[in-house]
Structure 1
Amino acid sequence: MSCSRRHFLAGSGAVIFTTGVATTSLMSSKKTLAYSMEDGTKRYGMVHDENACIGCTACTEACREVNSVPEGVSRLEIIRSEPRGEFPDVDYRFTRKSCQHCENAPCVMVCPTGAAYKDEKTGIVDVHNEKCVGCGYCLAACPYQVRFFNPVTKSADKCDFCRETNLAQGKQPACVESCPTKALIFGDLNDKDSEINTVLNNNPVYRDKVDLGTKPKLYKIPNKKGEI
């Protein structure tokens, strides 16, 4: 979907940059940032099992290598909790931070050039590098704060489920292939017989910030020892 500058400024949430800090000015609009977007033939999603994750970060390194992500920025992070318990019985909880590939993606809504878009065939939220003008609107609009400027391409960047690399070759995303404990499950949410739907149907899951109406497609199986 394209969005003109006039439509953006008159719409929901003009982002104003002052002294290098992005602030949001809420304005009245018939549309909210999380507006309705059609899903594709496929609807790719991911599950992160916090019980299986050991925080090894093999996923982050595989992502960097396969997608040529420059040093200093990252498409995904594994966040480690504060230590829990008392020595010597101390453990941690690990959770994934990356693009949620929202069905209702605020970043797409605010992009004035159409650089941020949702792929019609897969539901993957992606970026047209050649259309990005570096305005930073999408970075400010993302409630998950997972977008960044790529210092090589000079455009907004984020996880794309390895759409241009592994997926294009018929493989699983690099993070999924590299996980030694099988903590990541990827697949088509529109396929009722897919592995990801089997996992979702047989495990308690949660998603981050669902109250915003973004409909994220990154699901998490909560750590049984922790709290949501």
Structure 2
Amino acid sequence: MARYAMAIDTKRCVGCNACSMACKMTNNLPDGTWWTRVLTEGGDEVDTPAGIFPEVSMRYVTVSCQHCDNPACVKVCPVGATYKDPETGVVRQDYDKCIGCRMCMAACPYTGVRSFNWEEPGYSIDHAVGDADIAAHQKHVVEKCTFCYQRLARGETPACMDLCPARARHFGDLDDPDSEVSQLVGERSYEQLLTSEGTKPSVYYLV
């Protein structure tokens, strides 16, 4: 049993989008689909600073599924396609069970972390990329970040963490007091997204 979590150091993140690209390649995401996005506090456009010149600041916030300890999406899925893995705490999607009702998208308070394949997934190149053991993407199903579950099953860490050049991302078992993520959350100040929703997200933004 474990309770996997991610801590993202906002003081180190440089907004390079390496995490987004690592995720897209490793999981062979279809064209137009992103499971991880890099946002700024100043606005919806890329690299928008906060404040008014000359008093401006730039802080990047990378957003994906928050793998909540109390996930709203799981409660509303009528067929059990969205579920919380009991061994890891990771919120997962079963594409074969998904009926495309998108109730999980409606219930999730974190806008944009899920995508829906309206059409058969398309790709810019004619062969698959990334890990060979990922689930095949399907038409009319909901998708989202899986914490690279296929890599966790091999004892590895999510691709976004491995390829972060600023070493801003940390991953591990929050229930293990010796894990890096557990120690960082215990030592550093942090923020979480929309805690008022009661979902208890497993992503911590170190400040």
The two structures have a TM-score, normalised by structure 2, of: 0.83
The equivalent residue for 1:156 is 142
Deviating beyond 4 angstroms after TM superposition, the runs of 4 or more aligned structure 1 residues are none
Residue 67 in structure 1 maps to residue 27 in structure 2: yes
Matched residues in 2 for 1:170 and 1:212: separation? 32
Q: Secondary structure of 1:131's match?
A: coil
Q: Secondary structure of 2:22's match?
A: helix
The alpha-carbon deviation at position 94 of structure 1 amounts to: 0.2
Matched residues in 2 for 1:118 and 1:168: separation? 15
The equivalent residue for 1:212 is 197
Alignment of 1:25-40 (within 5 A): none
Q: Deviations over 1:126-175 (max 9, x none)?
A: 001000010010011000121111353121111110002x2233221000
Q: Secondary structure of 2:5's match?
A: strand
Instruction: State the structure with bigger RCO (CA 8 A, min sep 6), 1 or 2.
Output: 2
Matched residues in 1 for 2:30 and 2:56: separation? 34
Matched residues in 2 for 1:169 and 1:103: separation? 23
Q: Secondary structure of 2:176's match?
A: coil
Which consecutive residues of structure 1, in runs of 5 or more, have no partner in the other structure?
1-40, 223-228
Q: Secondary structure of 1:129's match?
A: coil
The two structures have a TM-score, normalised by structure 1, of: 0.75
Q: Deviations over 1:84-111 (max 9, x none)?
A: 4646x86411001111111111100000
Matched residues in 1 for 2:97 and 2:81: separation? 5
Structure having the higher Rg: 1
The equivalent residue for 2:96 is 130
| Matching residue within 116, 119, 123 for 2:85 | 119
The alpha-carbon deviation at position 81 of structure 1 amounts to: 3.0
The equivalent residue for 2:37 is 77
Alignment of 1:185-224 (within 5 A): 185-222=170-207
The alpha-carbon deviation at position 80 of structure 1 amounts to: 2.1
Residue 51 in structure 1 maps to residue 11 in structure 2: yes
Deviates more, 1:131-140 or 1:143-152: 143-152
Q: Deviations over 1:41-96 (max 9, x none)?
A: 10000011110000000000000000011121111101023224646x86411001
Aligned residues: 180
Matched residues in 2 for 1:221 and 1:174: separation? 20
Q: Deviations over 1:170-197 (max 9, x none)?
A: 2210000010011111000110110001
Matched residues in 2 for 1:64 and 1:74: separation? 6
Matched residues in 2 for 1:181 and 1:209: separation? 26
RMSD of aligned residue pairs (Cα, Å): 1.5
